[in-house]
């Protein structure tokens, strides 16, 4: 638990985020804009991993719901990131259902073994996870692994918070994230040798 060196962009600002959310709940529109700027980059990265090019539209729908229900939120900055991720996930799954693209059934039954997660694998993937090419690779992972990686690394949630968003046990989410990061680290290692012309998510379907 004491991995203080592990980079988590969102967590560094959770105090400021919590204060901004509290002011926004009192009707401070400028504070809501501050909260949006803290949360939106990670949320958009998460949604890109789920719905690809439609991420901006799904994020807009999610933010309408977040703004509408803000008065009902109870919690701190970290809690707000988890709450917004849950709303965004519901919107993304609704979007996928409308497109008749069914999420693949997860293989979490096989993932319940609580594997140790070598930090080196995690760090390798963290270095490149925010790039669009890495997000494209994440979208190729099994859905349970992709979501666990996106929530842990891109949104910056801790294990229990990511598990609450997904409705799974923390051990299962930790295992899925480890397996996804391990596969991603291998792909990123291969890509760094062979990939000379980076592609953008906007050009892929």
Place of tokens 């910056």: 156
Residue 1 lies in a domain: no
Residue 23 lies in a domain: yes
Top-confidence residue, 99 or 7: 99
pLDDT at 196 over 50: no
Could you give the number of structural domains in the chain? 1
Residue 52 lies in a domain: yes
Residue 204 lies in a domain: no
> How many C-beta atoms lie closer than 10 Å to residue 197's C-beta?
4
Summarize pLDDT for 104-156 with one digit per residue, the tens: 444 332 333 333 344 445 555 554 454 566 777 888 889 899 999 889 888 88
Residue 26 lies in a domain: yes
Summarize pLDDT for 149-176 with one digit per residue, the tens: 889 888 889 889 999 999 999 999 999 9
**pTM above the 0.85 mark?**
no
Residue 117 lies in a domain: no
Question: Could you give the C-alpha distances from 145 to 59, 127, 174, 196, in angstroms and in order?
Answer: 21, 18, 9, 27
Residue 83 pLDDT class (50, 70, 90 cuts): very high
Provide the residue range defining the domain that includes 73: 10-102+128-194
Residue 120 lies in a domain: no
Residue 152, domain CATH: 1.10.10.10
pLDDT at 75 over 90: yes
Residue 53 lies in a domain: yes
């Amino acid at each position: 638990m004491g991995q203080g060196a592990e980079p988590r962009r969102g967590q560094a600002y959770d105090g400021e985020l919590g204060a901004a959310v509290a002011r926004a709940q009192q009707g401070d529109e400028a504070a809501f804009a501050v909260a949006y700027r803290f949360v939106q980059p990670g949320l958009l990265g998460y949604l890109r991993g789920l719905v690809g090019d439609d991420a901006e539209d799904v994020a807009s729908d999610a933010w309408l719901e977040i703004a509408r229900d803000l008065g009902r939120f109870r919690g701190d900055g970290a809690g707000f990131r988890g709450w917004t991720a849950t709303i965004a996930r519901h919107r993304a799954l609704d979007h996928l259902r409308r497109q008749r693209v069914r999420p693949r059934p997860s293989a979490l039954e096989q993932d319940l073994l609580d594997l140790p997660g070598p930090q080196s694998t995690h760090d390798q993937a963290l270095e490149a996870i925010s790039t669009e090419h890495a997000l494209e690779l994440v979208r190729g992972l099994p859905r349970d692994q992709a979501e666990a990686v996106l929530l842990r690394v891109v949104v910056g949630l801790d294990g229990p918070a990511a598990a609450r968003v997904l409705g799974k046990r923390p051990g299962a989410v930790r295992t899925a994230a480890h397996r996804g990061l391990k596969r991603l680290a291998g792909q990123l290692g291969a890509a760094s040798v062979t990939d000379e012309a980076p592609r953008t998510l906007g050009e892929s379907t």
